[in-house]
Structure 1
Amino acid sequence: MPMVGEADGPVAVSRRIEAPAGVIFRVVTDPGRHLDLDGSGMVRGPASDAVISGLGDVFVMRMSNERHGDYEMDNHVVEYEQDRRVGWEPKPGRGHPDVHAPQGRWGHRWVFDLVPDGPGATIVTETFDGSRLPQDKRAEFGDGRAWWVESMSRTLERLDALCTGRLSP
């Protein structure tokens, strides 16, 4: 069930998944699984096989889109609560046109919240918060709220299929 905030506020999508929070958490904290989860079509895979283990971790994802071609994003883990919440702020990495920009991270954030919902089920909410993006980056991201909701809905569908065995690992 999509949840859309204010025009410049976070965009969030939730889904009930018939799997324990710990199982889901292991999938979303493994960058090696993000290609399997990606509902946007931009993720190409991790640059390393390190698993997110806590605050301050950085994992690098290979990405691609029409605007920038192939590039990497260095994702800084800024929220971490075992089996409950993980969030990261991307920073342009190798191959991205803004890799040497002085502002570093733009302040946008991806978060997965997991709330147990009875035995063996979890409400998963994926949130994209672009409210702290600089004005020029907000314009670059455009008014893509509907696009974010669609992409995040596909991501949660894929997460559901992975965690319930309907999509091969």
Structure 2
Amino acid sequence: MAGTTGEAVVAVSRRIGARAGEVFGILSDPGRHLDLDGSGMLRGCVRGGAVSGVGDVFVMRMHYERYGAYETNNHIVEYERDRRIGWETRPGRGHPDATAPVRAWGHRWIFDLLPDGAGATVVTETFDGSRMPEDRRTEVTEGRAWWQTQMAGTLERLAELCAAR
């Protein structure tokens, strides 16, 4: 596992013993995200089956100590089957930022998959906060170690899910 950071970007990589298509199948199904969550913030999928391309939206139930229970609306912004999937998270029902006009957070979760020999894939999870308003970007840069730990946990759970298949 390796971790890298930029000003408002945090990335963690891990080699997983599964083909890219298997890994992508899990990542592209929001119903499986609760099984992956290394942060403990996810509570389940409200709406959305497996995503099939840019423009799809899925809604997740979340809980964060500062906000309590809320939902996020996740817009697929990057999609290359078996190689890359990314979504931009926006505040949903119950979140204090979900009032009119909706203030987009601008951050993205991206998973890059790089085949690595027969039956293995290097998966890089990236939290890209470079599009966030400056006052929000501080949360990413100051909490970098926390983000890396949570992301490493997600990749560990992903590896376990793939091994169980």
Q: Fold-level match, TM-score > 0.5?
A: yes
Match of 1:2 in 2: 2
Q: Where does 1:68-83 land on structure 2 (aligned, <5 Å)?
A: 68-83=67-82
Q: Which residue of 1 aligns with 2:24?
A: 25
1:22 shift after superposition: 0.4
Contact 2:14/2:123 (8 A) holds in 1: yes
Give the aligned partner of residue 54 of structure 2. Answer: 55
Aligned residues between the structures: 165
Determine if contact 2:8/2:137 at 8 Å carries over to the other structure: no
* Cα deviation code 1:115-141 (max 9, x no counterpart): 000111000000001111102222455
Larger mean CA deviation between 137-146 and 74-83 belongs to 137-146
Structure 2 equivalent of residue 64 of structure 1 = 63
After superposition, the CA RMSD in angstroms is: 1.5
For 1:115 and 1:105, locate their aligned partners in 2 and report how far apart those are by CA, in whole Å: 30
The CA distance in 1 between the partners of 2:122 and 2:53, in whole Å, is 22
1:1-169 correspondence runs (5 A): 1-6=1-6, 8-102=7-101, 104-141=103-140, 143-165=142-164
Distance 1:135-1:74 versus aligned 2 partners, 3 A rule = same
Asked if 2 retains the 8 angstrom alpha-carbon contact of 1:113 and 1:124, the reply is yes
Give the Cα–Cα distance (whole angstroms) in 2 for the partners of residues 87 and 101 of structure 1. Answer: 25
Q: Distance in 1 between matches of 2:14 and 2:2?
A: 8
Runs of 5+ consecutive residues of structure 1 not aligned to the other structure: none
Q: Structure 2 regions of 5+ residues with no counterpart?
A: none
The secondary structure found in structure 1 opposite 2:25 is helix
Secondary structure of the equivalent of 2:122? strand
Contact 2:48 2:57 in 1 (8 A): no
TM-score by length of 1: 0.92
TM-score of the pair, normalised by structure 2: 0.95
